[in-house]
Amino acid sequence: MHRPAARALCLGVALALLAAPALARRHDPEKLPEIRIRDLHYGDALFYYYQHDDFEALTRLAAYDHWNRMPHHADDAQLLMGGLYLALGMHNEAGRRFEALLKDPVPSGVRNVAWFYLAQVWYVRGYLDKAAAALARVNGRMSPELESQKELLLGNVLIHQGKFDEAIRLLSTWRGTYNWSAYARFNLGVALARSNRLADADPFLTGVGTMLASTEEQRALKDRANLALGFAYLQANEPAKALPALERVRLNGPYSNRALLGTGWAEASLGDYQGALGPWMELRNRNVLDAAVQESYLAVPYAFGKLNANAQSAEYYESAVESFDAENGRLDAAIARIGQGDMLKRVLTSGHSGTEPYGWFWQLKNLPDAPESRYLYTVLAGNDFQEGLKNYRDLVHMSELLERGGYDMEAFEDMIETRERAYAERLPKVDTLLASGAVAQLQQRNVDLTGRLQTIEARRDLGALGTEAERDQWARIQRLEAALAGAPDTPENADLRQRLALVKGVLYFRLNDAYSARLWEEHRSLKDLKLALHEAQSRWIRVEQARRNVPTNTGEFATRIAALKVRIDALATRLAATEQAQADYLASVAIQELEDQKARLASYQVQARFALGGMYDRAANAGATPAKAPAAEQKGAGEESPAETPAPAAPVPEAPPSEVPPPEAPPPQAAPSEAAPPKSTETPR
């Protein structure tokens, strides 16, 4: 990840806040103290975080936050999200979150870490006073790892603010591994040197310059410290002290050229031009694109001149002029091509992405096979370019991450459409059914029937339970009875009455006989009906509920999908535009650097020509060809005065004593499994 410090801080957070008091089981020194996860989804985000997949972790935290699935880890989640925003280069957003967090009544442990993070944010933005103020708000001790990081951050802030004495005091008592404070010590040494406190600077720079370095990053820092000290002494006219420092610089490393140049100058300052020729000749054989090498093109003939080897001096001056001319031509061509925009695109398009940083990109071997590549090497080394490049690469990386998410909007839309169609078919029926109130009606009927049955039972209404035929008969019998009731007492009528009574008796008998059974049947049917009704009722409720859900589901989804598509397209446009702006900016930086090179070359050419001119003039005046003397000769023959060749100017670009903030901040000491130091080395920038 490109911001290891924030990652390390995040881990520190996780430990500091959530660790149950030292429940490390079985004393495994590698194992982190147990973190009690009380919300499963928070644990899931951590699962990705621990795999260094910051983007995924952040996405999940944000989503789970949206669904309120991490109620027990509200503060922790906010802190972690803030840290991740910081790690992913969005320090504005990170700052916002920390500030918001601090407005709430959060426990002091959380407050402290939030203030510490905020200090980091301010530092990144360059607001050092605010950074210092934020650090001062940390009230009470945080975990040891965070404490030591805090000290370092404070140290860097003090250095930037020019409060060197405080910084010295702080760094002298800093507890932690030397390697991690090396950056702070380096910065302090450089700052002191620049303030003409070389005596104070020496122990710091020498300390870093002689430290045990096991990684490339450390070795580079060591070289830098030695280079800075050496040049500082040169500047202070103490060449004898400069030499030992410069000689500690590796012969083959990013700083070797400048060290060689400085060594030569130290020797020259001590009067030993023979000695100076050693490093300068070595330097002269190196890549002419390097400023130090260019200077050696002038320094070598200068030394020869001092040794009275004027013929060789002239030769080398001429050679310098030629080389510079050639270089100038190539520079022009390179500038033109960069201006066209092609080359940069090819450099900037890295196929590299993923969860690990793209450190390997910075190596020369990865430049495309084009003549202009050699210039890009120097261009790439520039800070502005590097920063801009980082932005660009972040954008590329992000867009790849998003694309890799594999969200298939069309598939979603299909899904929605299918659902909608299905609903469109069924919904009207459902609605009609629901509107019909069928269940309620059934319920009512059930009630009615139950009531009726009860009444029948209460009255022992035999007729009610009869068959249709029987009820008809009964009804007819009753009508006849009624009719006969008012009839005169004739023998026919008496006969009729008798027969009627008989039929009625038979019917009655039948009804009575069947009554119990029938009653039982009715009861049973009613029971069945009740059960069926109950089921129908629950199903009814479910259908109602589903129906209620329907409008929110599809309609809302369709809207959301449409909105997301718009955002995706808009984002794509903005990304393209910003990438273009970034690329343009990088091109301008590149061109600027190349123009600078041109200017430098031009001045060297002037000097070389001037020196040559001077030599020819003198030779012409002396009337004799300059005697060739082997380089070994100290005294030139036939010349009275040492050749008056001008000393080449030595504006050294990328002046060694430049401040270098540490790689984000050191890792928590107690979490070796996090292995943050290797993070820096994984990005050999």
- Which residues within the stretch 3-32 sit at the binding site for another protein (CB under 8 A)? 3, 5, 14, 25-26, 28, 31-32
CB of 504 to another protein, least distance (A): 58
Phi, psi dihedral angles at 662 (to 5 degrees): -65, 165
- Alpha carbon distance 258, 525 (integer Å): 105
Residue from 648, 667, 668, 677 that binds another protein (CB under 8 A)? 648
Near another protein in 334-393, by CB under 8 A: 345-346, 348-356, 358, 360, 362, 365-366, 368, 380-381, 383-384, 386-388, 390-391
CB of 169 to another protein, least distance (A): 22
> Which two structure tokens, joined as six digits, stand for 491?
């023998």
DSSP 304: H
Residue from 405, 437, 451, 672 that binds another protein (CB under 8 A)? 405
| Listed ranges 90-98, 169-177, 505-513, 630-638: which one lies at the site for another protein (CB under 8 A) | 90-98
Is the Cβ–Cβ distance between 273 and 267 less than 8 Å?
yes
The SS3 assignment for 1 reads coil
CB of 151 to another protein, least distance (A): 17
In angstroms, how far is the first alpha carbon of the chain from the final one? 13
CB of 8 to another protein, least distance (A): 12
> Which two structure tokens, joined as six digits, stand for 542?
């479910």
For the chain, the maximum distance between any two Cα atoms, rounded to a whole number of angstroms, is 186
Phi, psi dihedral angles at 358 (to 5 degrees): -100, 50
Nearer to another protein (CB atom), residue 108 or residue 237: 237
- Alpha carbon distance 549, 427 (integer Å): 12
Nearer to another protein (CB atom), residue 466 or residue 657: 657
- Alpha carbon distance 180, 467 (integer Å): 102
Report if residue 619 touches another protein, rule: CB under 8 A: no
Binding mask 238-267 for another protein (x = CB under 8 A): -x--------------x----------x--
Report if residue 653 touches another protein, rule: CB under 8 A: yes
| Listed ranges 47-55, 468-476, 497-505, 510-518: which one lies at the site for another protein (CB under 8 A) | 47-55
Report if residue 311 touches another protein, rule: CB under 8 A: no
Nearer to another protein (CB atom), residue 516 or residue 673: 673
- Within 8 A by CB and 6+ apart from 654, the residues are 258, 291, 381
Whose structure tokens read 């001045």?
Answer: 603
Can you give 197-222 as a three-state secondary structure string? CHHHHHHHHHHHHCCCCCCHHHHHHH
DSSP 19: B
> Which two structure tokens, joined as six digits, stand for 336?
């033109």
Report if residue 558 touches another protein, rule: CB under 8 A: no
- Alpha carbon distance 54, 59 (integer Å): 8
Near another protein in 152-171, by CB under 8 A: 156, 160
Is the Cβ–Cβ distance between 159 and 188 less than 8 Å?
yes
Residue from 403, 431, 448, 544 that binds another protein (CB under 8 A)? 403
Report if residue 635 touches another protein, rule: CB under 8 A: no
Near another protein in 578-597, by CB under 8 A: 578-579, 581-582, 585, 588-589, 592, 595-596
Closest CA to 389 of 662, 664, 595, 582: 582
Near another protein in 203-222, by CB under 8 A: 217, 220-221
Nearer to another protein (CB atom), residue 146 or residue 589: 589
| Listed ranges 87-95, 170-178, 476-484, 520-528: which one lies at the site for another protein (CB under 8 A) | 87-95
Near another protein in 661-680, by CB under 8 A: 661-665, 673, 680
Near another protein in 278-297, by CB under 8 A: none
Near another protein in 526-555, by CB under 8 A: 549, 553
Report if residue 430 touches another protein, rule: CB under 8 A: no
- Alpha carbon distance 319, 284 (integer Å): 11
CB of 524 to another protein, least distance (A): 29
| Listed ranges 43-51, 133-141, 164-172, 508-516: which one lies at the site for another protein (CB under 8 A) | 43-51
- Alpha carbon distance 53, 43 (integer Å): 14
Whose structure tokens read 């009380």?
Answer: 38
HSE toward the beta carbon, residue 97, CA cutoff 13 A: 25
- Alpha carbon distance 297, 321 (integer Å): 9
Q: How many residues bind another protein (CB under 8 A)?
A: 167
Residue from 406, 486, 488, 491 that binds another protein (CB under 8 A)? 406
Residue from 452, 529, 642, 670 that binds another protein (CB under 8 A)? 642
Nearer to another protein (CB atom), residue 271 or residue 451: 271
CB of 223 to another protein, least distance (A): 10
- Within 8 A by CB and 6+ apart from 488, the residues are none
Report if residue 685 touches another protein, rule: CB under 8 A: yes
CB of 279 to another protein, least distance (A): 15
For residue 63, the surrounding DSSP H or E stretch is helix 54-66
Nearer to another protein (CB atom), residue 127 or residue 508: 127
Phi, psi dihedral angles at 35 (to 5 degrees): -110, 125
Near another protein in 171-190, by CB under 8 A: 183
> Which two structure tokens, joined as six digits, stand for 668?
């928590």
> Which two structure tokens, joined as six digits, stand for 197?
């406190």
Report if residue 443 touches another protein, rule: CB under 8 A: no
Exposed e or buried b per residue across 629-641, where buried means at least 16 C-beta atoms within 10 angstroms of its C-beta: beeeeeebeebee
- Alpha carbon distance 542, 181 (integer Å): 66
